[in-house]
Amino acid sequence: MKVELRSIHKYFGPVHANNNISLTILPGTIQGIVGENGAGKSTLMKILSGFIQADEGEILLDDQVITIHSPSDALKRGIGMLHQDPLDFPPMKVIDNLLIGQEGGLFPNKRKVAADIKKLANQFGFSIDTEAYVEGLTVGERQQLEIIRLLWMGARILILDEPTTGISASQKEKLFETLTRLASEGMIVIFVSHKLEEIETLCHRAAVFRGGLLVGEAIQPYHTDDLVRLMFGKPMELGSRLGCHSEENVVEIHNLEIEDPRLHIRDVDLDVKAGEVIGLAGMEGSGQRLFLRALGGLLATTGRTKLLVKGHDLTHEPYSSYLKTGVAYVPADRMEEGLIPGLTLKEHFILTGDTKKLFIDQEESLHRTKVKISEFNIKGRPDSYVEELSGGNQQRALLALLNEPLSLVLLEHPSRGLDLESTIWLWEKLKERCKTGTAVIFISSDLEQILHYSDRILVFFGGKVSKPMLAAETNVDQLGQLIGGKGFVN
């Protein structure tokens, strides 16, 4: 099956989200679609998968002009899309997830469907338990389920939107293996990502998007610098590590102990110097998030834990004491825990501003908001609702909301969902903080980032914590071993 997009235009109000996009994809191809956030990749994929309709332009399947009315219509024609957050039904069983949308009689033949699915899953080496509940699966497993479902429903063109966010390294490997195999069987795989290295390892071809335009195409072998230049319109470089030279301890942790139904973290001792950056590595759920939350005053510690920030003993103190001492926490789930949907940017700045006054000083807050918006380069107006901002701009807003001065900033997955430019910008902002003596502790699943920006690294495995390692003296391989649980002493 061949796909051809001809002169696609799509407008959202004044925004020209897709500007004259033409792209032909041949059978057996893994086509990469790359570009920074808001470049128009998702819009084009939504058009191809029937979620929205193009304002102008044509879609051709095997040289036939077609109109796609809805996602289910697209799937009937063999176009299936795997969404970043798999569109399934978490509280329901896997088997019921598969049956919804499958055509057939009043009483579905569950046994046959389960057998068919198991057979199909086995071909790809996936293990799918049809009686399990979807909410008990990891994001990676839900992706596998959704891929199998789409194939089972007859998809011959598979669109994947940022599929590697939130899945483990081994699941990613498995995913790439599967996609390569599907392409070798003559299917089309369209892989949308803002991560260049993924495009480079996986895709036969890559189309680069910027500002609603398709600015260029590349084929293997790629030249990273060329792709970066296409993506951003200019060469980009990761900023370097700041390097910490202070001797002053900002944070002192003694005998830290955290109990959780699943994990038990104990006897962690760590001193963090002013301006130091510490990266926490490990598979999701290994204890790094508990550790970070405990440091932020969001989780109670137990045992003989002693936690000092700037000399203040904060052990068992309420969260407000942490705030007063200048500890800030930036969560990964920006809309759930960080920002308040339904409030504007200005209202957020009002909430974090001077709380002693009863009445709001509208002009002062508007002024402060404008200053922050330009200082943090947020694409939005003071009266924009936070849920309308893109992921990158939400992250900028979160950083802009942090008080000054701070002693310690704790970040969960600070660059999740951000493109390269935003990530670089984020670290420049954090480094400015470090220069004023703020310590930074962050979690990331991106080892390169941890190695690149941290001074020291802690690796978590099943609640065990490694000794702090100097980032300059370790490498991806050594970290990978530790993350997999090899080399822990106790």
Partner 1 sequence: MEFNLILVGLAGVIAAATPIVFATIGETITEKAGVTNLSVNGTIILSAMTGFAVATSTDNLWLGFLAGAFVGALVAAIVAFSSITLKQSQVAVGFVLTLMCRDLAYFLGNPFMGLSGPRVPPAFEIPLLSKIPILGTLFFNQDILVYLSFLLIIFANIYVYKTRPGLSLQGIGERPASAYIRGTNVNKMRYIYTILGGALVGVAGPMYSLSVKAGWKGTISGLDGIGWIVLAIVIFGGWNPLRGSLGAYLFAFLQWLGLVLQTSLPGIPSQVLQVAPFPLMILTLLLVNIGNAEWVDRTIMGLPENVRPAISRLLRSMKTNPPSSLGVPFENE
Minimum gap (Å) between residue 184 Cβ and partner 1? 27
Residue 40 touching partner 1 (CB under 8 A)? no
Tokens, residue 236: 């980009």
Cis peptide before 405 (omega within 30 of 0): yes
Exactly one of 22, 65, 101, 475 binds partner 1 (CB under 8 A); that residue is 101
Residue 27 contacts residue 190 (beta carbons within 8 Å):
no
Residue 108 touching partner 1 (CB under 8 A)? yes
Per DSSP, the three-state class of 432 is helix
Minimum gap (Å) between residue 170 Cβ and partner 1? 26
Minimum gap (Å) between residue 171 Cβ and partner 1? 21
Q: How far apart are alpha carbons 93 and 457 in whole angstroms?
A: 40
Q: With the C-alpha atoms ordered 407, 413, 418, 419, is the resulting torsion angle positive or negative?
A: positive
Question: Cα dist. 387→46, 338, 376, 392 in Å?
Answer: 20, 11, 17, 12
Residue 107 touching partner 1 (CB under 8 A)? yes
Q: How far apart are alpha carbons 398 and 394 in whole angstroms?
A: 6
Exactly one of 24, 67, 72, 362 binds partner 1 (CB under 8 A); that residue is 72
Residue 90 touching partner 1 (CB under 8 A)? yes
Residue 58 touching partner 1 (CB under 8 A)? no
Residue 105 touching partner 1 (CB under 8 A)? yes
Number of residues that bind partner 1 (CB under 8 A): 26
Exactly one of 56, 62, 89, 475 binds partner 1 (CB under 8 A); that residue is 89
CB neighbours (10 Å) of residue 328? 21
> Which residue's structure tokens are 């030249």?
223
The window from 103-111, 223-231, 323-331, 417-425 that contacts partner 1 (CB under 8 A) reads 103-111
Residue 78 touching partner 1 (CB under 8 A)? no
Residue 462 touching partner 1 (CB under 8 A)? no
Residue 67 touching partner 1 (CB under 8 A)? no
CB neighbours (10 Å) of residue 236? 16
Q: Which helix (H) or strand (E) holds 365?
A: helix 362-375
Exactly one of 13, 14, 63, 106 binds partner 1 (CB under 8 A); that residue is 106
Q: Which of residues 255-284 bind partner 1 (CB under 8 A)?
A: 261
First to last CA, the chain: 55
Q: How far apart are alpha carbons 440 and 239 in whole angstroms?
A: 16
Nearer to partner 1, 46 or 372 (CB): 46
The window from 73-81, 198-206, 379-387, 424-432 that contacts partner 1 (CB under 8 A) reads 73-81
Q: Which helix (H) or strand (E) holds 434?
A: helix 420-435
Nearer to partner 1, 102 or 201 (CB): 102
Minimum gap (Å) between residue 68 Cβ and partner 1? 12
Nearer to partner 1, 97 or 454 (CB): 97
Residue 221 touching partner 1 (CB under 8 A)? no
Query: Which string of DSSP letters, residue by residue, matches 374-387?
Result: HHTT-SS-TT-BGG
The window from 96-104, 163-171, 462-470, 471-479 that contacts partner 1 (CB under 8 A) reads 96-104
The window from 91-99, 137-145, 267-275, 316-324 that contacts partner 1 (CB under 8 A) reads 91-99
Residue 14 touching partner 1 (CB under 8 A)? no
Q: How far apart are alpha carbons 402 and 405 in whole angstroms?
A: 9
Tokens, residue 373: 């918006």
Tokens, residue 270: 């760590």
Exactly one of 104, 235, 311, 342 binds partner 1 (CB under 8 A); that residue is 104
The window from 72-80, 223-231, 294-302, 327-335 that contacts partner 1 (CB under 8 A) reads 72-80
The window from 17-25, 54-62, 71-79, 419-427 that contacts partner 1 (CB under 8 A) reads 71-79
Side-by-side strand order, sheet with 312-313: 264-273, 249-259, 306-309, 312-313
Q: How far apart are alpha carbons 98 and 131 in whole angstroms?
A: 11
Nearer to partner 1, 81 or 451 (CB): 81
Minimum gap (Å) between residue 81 Cβ and partner 1? 8
Question: Cα dist. 5→23, 25, 369, 395, 398 in Å?
Answer: 5, 9, 42, 33, 38
Distance of CA 229 to the CA centre of its chain: 23
Minimum gap (Å) between residue 163 Cβ and partner 1? 16
Residue ranges binding partner 1 (CB under 8 A): 46, 51-52, 70-73, 75, 81, 87-92, 96, 99-102, 104-108, 261
